[in-house]
């Protein structure tokens, strides 16, 4: 049995294409049968946003892009339709625009406990589908507990920010790579894919990464 490919995925909890991309990548994995070990890396799309942002996502987009609220609402309706094609029920009427640094800190705790994949899915569903507030400590405690994390450990970690350096390291690595947008996928630390590509594209990327791995292994064997 071959070793799984490593896949690092830079993304943010409040990135609508990241959840869509997650579903498409899952489809690709099912279609290809490829084995992978996924690590979610932190990327904050709006680190200057206050935890308790006083407005709707339409307000936020309107302010950020200098467009009308009606235009922002149209954009969100469009992405809601695209998400629905992947089986996701985005509900922007109840989304709480917020700061996601604590959610990223929690994802690093979950990684150490072997629960990162479960928490990533929980946070995305909570934010986009269930109107949960993923910027507040007690909400994060509840969501982390849902996937099996210890509530007291969550409170302690989010109070002393022991995983903030890991979040910042991911951000710095993204900058070093030249990553300016998410989702961004890196296969075996060598091949990059930008955006919520189609499952077919992800299947091709997985095949190319596997081929590169096998070629490297064959080369190493030939020189051994």
Which tokens in the block code for residue 89? 């029920």
Least Å distance, CB 191 to another protein, is: 6
Which tokens in the block code for residue 212? 């590169």
47-106 residues in contact with another protein (CB under 8 A) are 57, 61, 64-65, 72, 75-76, 78-79, 82
d(C-alpha 51, C-alpha 135), whole Å? 5
Which of 23, 94, 155, 168 is the binder for another protein (CB under 8 A)? 168
Least Å distance, CB 146 to another protein, is: 25
* Contact stretch for another protein (CB under 8 A) within 105-113, 115-123, 128-136, 160-168: 160-168
Which of 29, 110, 149, 182 is the binder for another protein (CB under 8 A)? 182
Please give the C-alpha separations between residue 195 and each of 18, 119, 192, in angstroms, as whole numbers. Answer: 8, 21, 10
Q: What angle do CA 171, 121, 64 make, to 5 degrees?
A: 50
What is the pairing mode between strands 191-194 and 184-187?
antiparallel
Which of 9, 16, 127, 128 is the binder for another protein (CB under 8 A)? 16
| Helix (H) or strand (E) run with residue 36 in it | strand 36-42
Q: Counting contacts by CB under 8 A, is residue 148 touching another protein?
A: no
* Contact stretch for another protein (CB under 8 A) within 14-22, 27-35, 123-131, 136-144: 14-22
Q: Closest CB to another protein among 142 and 204?
A: 204
Which tokens in the block code for residue 179? 């990553």
- 14-46 burial, b for 16+ CB within 10 Å, e for fewer? bbbbbbbbbbbbebbbeebebebebebbbbbeb
**Which residues of this protein are in contact with another protein, per CB under 8 A?**
12, 15-18, 20-21, 45-46, 57, 61, 64-65, 72, 75-76, 78-79, 82, 165-166, 168-170, 172-173, 176-178, 180-184, 186-187, 189-198, 201, 204-205, 208
């Amino acid at each position: 049995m071959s070793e799984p490919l490593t896949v690092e995925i830079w993304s943010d909890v409040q990135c609508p294409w990241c959840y869509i991309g997650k579903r498409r990548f899952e489809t690709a994995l099912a279609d290809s049968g490829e084995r992978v070990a996924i690590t979610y890396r932190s990327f904050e799309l709006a680190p200057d946003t206050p935890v308790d942002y006083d407005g709707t996502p339409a307000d936020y987009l309107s302010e950020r892009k200098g467009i009308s609220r009606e235009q922002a609402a149209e954009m969100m309706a469009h992405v809601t339709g695209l998400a629905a094609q992947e089986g996701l029920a985005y509900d922007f009427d109840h989304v709480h625009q917020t700061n996601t640094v604590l959610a990223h800190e929690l994802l690093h705790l979950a990684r150490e406990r072997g629960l990162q994949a479960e928490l990533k899915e929980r946070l995305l569903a909570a934010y986009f589908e269930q109107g949960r507030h993923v910027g507040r400590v007690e909400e994060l405690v509840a969501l982390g507990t849902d996937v099996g994390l210890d509530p007291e450990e969550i409170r302690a970690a989010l109070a002393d920010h022991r995983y903030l350096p890991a979040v910042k390291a991911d951000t710095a690595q993204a900058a070093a790579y030249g990553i300016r947008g998410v989702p961004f996928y890196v296969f075996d630390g060598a091949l990059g894919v930008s955006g919520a590509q189609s499952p077919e594209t992800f299947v091709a990327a997985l095949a190319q990464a596997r081929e590169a791995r096998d070629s490297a292994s064959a080369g190493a064997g030939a020189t051994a």
